[in-house]
Amino acid sequence: MLTTLKTPYTDTRASDLAWALGREPLPALAVLDLRLADARVQLRLLGASHQVLLEEERGTCSETVACIPGSSTPLPLGVAKRIGDWEYEFAAHVETLSQGSFAGRAQELLALVAEHPLGLAGTFPGSPHAFTAMLAQREEGQVRWRTWHAYPQEGRLVATRTRVGVRVAAAI
């Protein structure tokens, strides 16, 4: 699903993104509710990036990657945590592209997510290549999602990927 977000594009930077686990739902500009087997997943586009809410019988998980004023946790390159019975893994990568490459990559990603039944993308008015896109899936008992945050004014694309799944007991 592709939507135009009803908010002006503000001059944020990739380096302004912060990461948080466990935040309450923040006001969203667009929401996609998904049912992936026994998991309920809500993809949320915020005025300043994304939030994913995951709920299963075993518990809940809330991931927020956004430009949040006053946040002291910058975007990490990687995180691995245990959340109850789950293992949570997060990774982020920042790509710097030329203006021409950026436009092509933006169009490619928006096309990928816009028509995908498990995808949500939002573009900002006034800047055709400023967007946030999200894509979820369930595979082998794990819920996974990928996100892309575009900052055309600096030619940066921030990509994240997350995996949440049941902890596997170590063999003895």
Task: Measure the CA–CA gap between 8 and 136, rounded to whole angstroms.
Answer: 26
* Bridge partners, residue 64, by sequence: 20, 51
In this predicted structure, what is the pLDDT of residue 14? 81
Least confident piece of the model among 15-19, 60-64, 151-155: 15-19
Can you give the pTM of this predicted structure? 0.89
| E strands, the chain, in order | 2-4, 18-21, 30-36, 39-46, 49-56, 59-66, 78-83, 86-96, 119-124, 127-139, 142-151, 156-166
Task: Write down the pLDDT at residue 171.
Answer: 47
| 100 torsion bin: left (phi>0), alpha (psi -120 to 50), beta (else) | alpha
Lowest pLDDT segment from 1-10, 60-69, 95-104, 148-157? 1-10
